Amino acid sequence: MIRKLFGILLALVVALIVIGFLLPTSVEVERSRVVEHRQDVVYEVLADLRHFTHWAPWLARRQDMEWRLEGPVQGVGATLVWHETPESEASRLWIVSAEAPRRIDMTLELGGTEADSWFEIVEGEGGREVRWGMRMEFGALDLVGRYVGLLLPGLVGRDYRDGLERLDEYLARSPGRVPELPERFDSAR
């Protein structure tokens, strides 16, 4: 009986490994929302990471989260660093390229794993379509990452959808212009 259970367990482990090697080595998630705000205003808010802290879904969920800005506050080199808990490893988001007024490319680092992320603002019928996307690559032997990649569209996609909704609401507070930021700006909000 034990030998039979061991054989079944071994077959299951081998099957998971084989299936893992057949899974995609990358995952891409993108969500979009049409907004009525001017393209230049949307771009300015997205390119200035001080605004990010007012509408990003995960920062809104965790009001006690510690974060800080490094480098310039907007454009290439602007970096947002946060800790989910005081003991946790820092996560980072930094702007690597910016093409005003339509695209911002960023790198997202979470727990030692990096992903490419972007915002794209496209003129369209009924307003501007704001696209928020992420692409993550997994190493050839990163079987756990490949399995996690199956879950990311649902998990990250929900956050991106919620974030774009929050961005739209944030922009609506100051119609036609970039919302003002408080004089004192830090994680104390």
Per-residue model confidence as pLDDT tens digits over 43-87: 999 999 999 988 988 777 777 778 889 999 899 999 999 887 777
Q: At what angle do helices 143-172 and 2-22 cross, to 10 degrees?
A: 50
End-to-end C-alpha distance for the chain, whole angstroms: 61
What is the radius of gyration, based on Cα positions, of the chain? 20
* Whether the predicted pLDDT of 90 surpasses 60: yes
CATH 3.30.530.20 matches 26-172 = yes
C-alpha 62/C-alpha 189 separation (Å) is 12
Among candidate residues 64, 108, 102, the one with its CA nearest the CA of residue 86: 64
Among candidate residues 178, 43, 31, the one with its CA nearest the CA of residue 121: 43
The answer to whether the predicted template modeling score (pTM) of the entire model surpasses 0.75 is: yes
